[in-house]
Amino acid sequence: MKHLIPIIVILLMVSTSFVGVSDQVEELIGDNQDFSECLQYSENHYLYKDEWNKTFGGPNSDYGYCVIQTNDGGYAIIGETKSYGAGIHDVWLIKTDMDGNEEWNKTFGGTDWDIGYSIIQTAEGGYAITGKTSSFGVDKPDVWLIKTDMDGNEEWNKTFGGADGDAGCSLQQTNDGGFVIAGSTLSYADGCAWIIKTDHDGNELWNTTIVTSDDSFAYSIEQTKDNGYILTGWVYKGWDVLLAKLDAEGNEEWRKTFGGSGCEIGYSVHQTKDEGYIVTGYTSSYGAKDDNIWLIKTDSDGNEEWSKTFGGNNRERGYSCQITDDDGYVIVGITAEPVQYPSDVLLIKTDGAGNKEWEKVFDKAKFDTGKSIQQTSDGGYVIAGYTGQIFGNYDVILIKMAAFDNQRPNKPTITGKTEGKIKKEYEYKIVTTDPEDNDVYYFINWGSFGYYTGKIETDFIGPYASGEEVIVNHIWWYRDNFTITVMAIDIHGGESDWGELRVTMPHSYNNPFWWLVGLRDRFPLLQRLLEVLIR
């Protein structure tokens, strides 16, 4: 057994010295400040970059909760304003052109507190808004449904509610031209998710509650292919995600809850091509720590097929999710890592199986929140939310990300000494060209172990001009055959194929234990350790 100890030690040292190349690339790029603004490359070669961002607001706090792209290519945002209007807070509708420049804005409200949470463009080109009003209706607050023309002028409004608090959070125009609203009611049940169906003129056709053993709330609703409805939210008992399916008349077909020992909420739901459902929100039961973004995929009966969490060690929440043109998913929300405050807008793109393709953090002010996202007609994304100071005022924020087809850099070539002596510095030359003449970075994997670290030696250098010859130096510390691999990465994150150069440092193959000599050279303390163990 004593004689096996050196072999075990050797195997352990070798096995713990190998580090995945992809992990090294991610770590080195992430630590490089000059490269921090580059976005990850998606599988279809499309990149996404900031096209523009706009803020809207006055001397007090203003918030954006939902954004849609309009028929003319512009955008409509709904939220609330304390800066303008008649009351404490008013519903605020902002219309912009395709470049985010304001065309007009409208406020709706009375002397009290009124908020707009969801907006759609109707079939005739106007807008419908839902939220809650404390200025009108039976009591404070009531669900509020507002219909406007294409210029934001009110055509009619309806309130729904009773003696206690009621709110509408999500709105969709239905196939019959009417509307369906999801939210909550205290008036007709003891804190339950509330679904209201209206005709084209906002007259109530039916309403239903999702009665649970404790309070529940609906944050998102969508009409399904069978003319029924799918909704998500949460149930207070256990703080679990709620997913419920209704038929066309509002009768509950089934419900599911998802969660663990912590707090979970579902904020967004959509029916997928396979007639299943995709839900996003957050979880504190699963993932890294505290709140993590939670993406859940179910079948058509609400049975979980898979789920994914995204986040770090603090607070990440997903507030809005959309199915993308490539059948993946895009999520927007917040991240508060590495400290609890401030928070930033977080955008995550996944493939159809929920695997993260890339992410983007927007750091604008002390406290930024992304509340709504939509893929735009040009393949990009538009995000609405709010930005401001933790204890100060907030403004509505509108962010546009553009998609463009980036050409990858060409495979780099590397030249230099391919045979030589160990412990001597050699010069190597690297060069590549970029089809769009973008500057490039180089990730170099030397294929050798470091003298002191015992880990694969790598470098991340740049940026350099396309076609510029770059000179790097390296010392080979032990005898072996090595393969230098080099990847070029352009300023947009496009990655080239790997370039290679094989290098030979002389071996003494007459010695049957030449490989032990190489290990001795890689690990200078190994020989002393072996001597101690063998004694």
Smallest Cα–Cα separation from 178: which of 203, 149, 200?
Answer: 200
For 461, list phi and psi in degrees, rounded to 5: -130, 155
Print burial letters for 285-314: b (CB count within 10 Å at least 16), e (below 16): bbbeebbbbbbbbbebebeeeebbbbbeeb
CA-to-CA distance for 119 and 203, rounded, in angstroms? 18
What is the side-by-side order of every strand in the sheet holding 344-350?
316-323, 329-335, 344-350, 356-362
HSE-up of residue 9 (Cα within 13 Å, Cβ side): 20
Tell me: pLDDT of 383 over 90.
yes
The pair of structure tokens assigned to 185 is 């009611």
Say if residue 187 is in the same domain as residue 203. yes
Mean pLDDT taken over the chain? 87
Percent of the chain with pLDDT over 70: 84
Say if residue 466 is in the same domain as residue 487. yes
For 12, list phi and psi in degrees, rounded to 5: -65, -40
Residue 26, pLDDT score: 47
CA-to-CA distance for 52 and 28, rounded, in angstroms? 28
CA-to-CA distance for 10 and 513, rounded, in angstroms? 13
Query: How wide is the angle at C-alpha 287 spanned by C-alphas 281 and 292, nearest 5°?
Result: 35
Number of H helices, E strands in the chain: 4, 35
CA-to-CA distance for 407 and 250, rounded, in angstroms? 50
Say if residue 268 is in the same domain as residue 376. yes
Which residues in 98-187 belong to E strands, given as ranges? 102-108, 114-121, 127-133, 142-148, 154-160, 166-173, 179-185
Q: Which of 350, 384, 405 is the last residue of a domain?
A: 405
Q: How confident is the model at residue 60 (pLDDT cuts 50, 70, 90)?
A: very high
In a domain, 448, yes or no: yes
Q: CATH number, domain at 20?
A: 2.60.40.10
Q: Which of 363, 378, 405 is the last residue of a domain?
A: 405
CA-to-CA distance for 369 and 315, rounded, in angstroms? 12
In a domain, 71, yes or no: yes
Q: How confident is the model at residue 535 (pLDDT cuts 50, 70, 90)?
A: very low
CA-to-CA distance for 329 and 431, rounded, in angstroms? 37
Residue 523, pLDDT score: 54
Place of tokens 């898979």: 306
CA-to-CA distance for 118 and 233, rounded, in angstroms? 15
CA-to-CA distance for 361 and 336, rounded, in angstroms? 10
| End-to-end Cα, the chain, rounded Å | 13
Peptide bond into 141 cis (omega under 30): yes
- Mean pLDDT across the stretch 493-521? 69
- Contact by Cβ (8 Å): 191, 198: no
Say if residue 260 is in the same domain as residue 348. yes
Tell me: pLDDT of 338 over 80.
no
In a domain, 506, yes or no: yes
Q: How confident is the model at residue 29 (pLDDT cuts 50, 70, 90)?
A: very low
Task: For residue 510, give the 3-state DSSP assignment.
Answer: coil
- Mean pLDDT across the stretch 228-243? 93
Say if residue 391 is in the same domain as residue 416. no
In a domain, 535, yes or no: no
In a domain, 294, yes or no: yes
Residue 214, pLDDT score: 76
In a domain, 381, yes or no: yes
- Between 276 and 10, residue with greater pLDDT: 276
Q: CATH number, domain at 270?
A: 2.130.10.10
Tell me: pLDDT of 120 over 80.
yes
- Contact by Cβ (8 Å): 330, 348: yes
Say if residue 90 is in the same domain as residue 201. yes
pTM (2 d.p.): 0.78
Based on the structure, what is the number of domains in the chain? 2
Say if residue 328 is in the same domain as residue 247. yes
Helix (H) or strand (E) holding 529: helix 526-534
Q: How confident is the model at residue 121 (pLDDT cuts 50, 70, 90)?
A: very high
Which residues in 161-276 belong to E strands, given as ranges? 166-173, 179-185, 192-198, 204-210, 216-223, 229-235, 240-246, 252-258, 264-271
- Mean pLDDT across the stretch 503-526? 55
- Contact by Cβ (8 Å): 470, 461: yes
Helix (H) or strand (E) holding 10: helix 5-15
CA-to-CA distance for 196 and 174, rounded, in angstroms? 12
Say if residue 459 is in the same domain as residue 391. no
Tell me: pLDDT of 33 over 70.
no
Say if residue 299 is in the same domain as residue 447. no
- Mean pLDDT across the stretch 270-281? 98
Say if residue 166 is in the same domain as residue 294. yes
- Mean pLDDT across the stretch 1-21? 39
Say if residue 25 is in the same domain as residue 143. no
Condensed to tens digits (0 to 9), the pLDDT of residues 148-166 reads 999 999 999 999 999 899 9
Q: What's 409's DSSP letter?
A: P
Helix 5-15 × helix 526-534 angle, to 10°: 150
Q: Which of 382, 405, 428 is the last residue of a domain?
A: 405
- Contact by Cβ (8 Å): 353, 327: no
In a domain, 510, yes or no: yes
Residue 262, pLDDT score: 92
Tell me: pLDDT of 461 over 70.
yes
> Which domain range does residue 512 map to?
2-41+408-530
Residue 424, C-beta contacts closer than 8 angstroms, at least 6 positions apart: 475, 476
Say if residue 272 is in the same domain as residue 126. yes
